Structure 1
Amino acid sequence: MTITPLPQHERDTESVAGHWLLARIGKKVLRPGGKELSKWLVSATTVAGKRVVEFAPGLGLTARLLLDEGPASYMGVDSDPEAVAVTRDAIDGRGDLVVATAQETGLETASADIIVGEAMLTMQGDSAKKQIVAEAGRVLGPGGRYLVHELCLVPDTLDGEVKTSIRKDLARSIRVNARPLTVAEWTQLFDDAGFEVESTELRPMSLLKPMRMLADEGVAGVSRIVRNLMRDADACARVLAMRKTFVTHDEHMSAVGFVLRKR
């Protein structure tokens, strides 16, 4: 059996993006709110019979959740051909995928009823965030839903210097220029693009905490991850550094889910 390589497989442990490093050591759930918040998103609106588009579907966990609900169609969009191949294997022919950016998907206007995006807007600068949300608005039909799962900073009144410090530490740790926003800032971004927030759900950002790991990966999955880390000292050092960053800023980081309706 041919094993599809993970994205950035050619990069060494020191330079690979944090989420793909976690995937490399066997972690299946890579979203800040874990499997629980992804399930909340999927259950927050009716998927059956709807045209669904997912931006950056990653390892395909949410794609499978969506497809199990019986949508009229499923289209995954990712700019990385290797990521597309991973998702294609995960969904086993039950949907379509296209290599394109979330800023310019190439999909027809008003061709979707639901768009899903998880843990990808956080990784973009301000301009790219606006472009992606605008593209979601273009592709959605009137009244369509945009389901978003991201990292956020809390509280809304958080000092600007603290925000900058958190963003710098995250960038150093995960090797991606992450720029999480407060709930109020996320809401403003969506409002400016013509979306109304129907519901918001906050969950702890416990990606590498033991209880979340067990809930997301199961005992066998956690055992696999531990074995892989024991065999790879460099990967272990990076994962521990990531966890230290998350713990250091635990008070001011959260996972957030939004159900948005296009006006």
Structure 2
Amino acid sequence: MTELVDLSVRGRTAVVTLQRQAKRNALTIELCDLIREAATTAVADGARSLVVTGEGTSFCSGADLDAVYGDAFRESLYGMLHALAALPVPVVAAVNGPAIGAGTQLAIACDVRVAAPGAAFAIPTAGNALAVDPWTIRRFALLAGNGAARAALLGLEKIDADRAHALGLADRLGTVDDAIAWAEQMAELAPLTLAYSKQVLNAVFEPEFEAATAAELTRSFEACWTSDDFAEGRAARLEKRKPQFKGL
């Protein structure tokens, strides 16, 4: 499709492959937009299941930290994540290696995950004063469990493939080929039933927040991105030093 994303078709299954191997498939605005375009185009063209994976040894190392410091990146990232989650076909994440930060977000935006031996999941935002949105935290906790989510978000614990499988964060252990084979099986099932099942699961387990709660959570989320600590995290990265956070 482009140098950054490859879209291939295996019968009724489309495979979207991130191809930014030199940056361990780190996400930029352009890459997020291309993933969304590839996925929606594939479904519009008749794909009945979708696989998302990364080229090389990394699934997605997260957001490209040279590109995340602005509203445009967040709009592109969350637009892509929610588009994947809302697709009417099964979406399988073939987690072929580390899925860190926004990489974990990409993996959990898919319906199911197949984790290779080198796969790992982490959301280390507390280490650089970034933040993920409430949807991400709720979805991660629903999949991995509240305790594992707290350990990952508050203690920066990384979850390897075996533990992810034991927790239910990864549905199967296997390779990209295993993930594609599973997606091909799904593509042979009844499309309307699959779309209905996804719709119910999303409505029951991830309903809209009440207005007051949503507003409060949004304020807290935005406060992280406009804080002095956020600026300190960016400065520390550029200066290659440990950040000194003050809670301001």
Of the two structures, which has the highest relative contact order with CA contacts closer than 8 Å and spacing of 6 or more?
1
Instruction: Indicate the structure with greater strand content.
Output: 1
| TM-score normalised according to structure 2 size | 0.24
Query: Between Structure 1 and Structure 2, which shows a larger proportion of helix residues?
Result: 2
Q: TM-score, normalised by structure 1?
A: 0.24
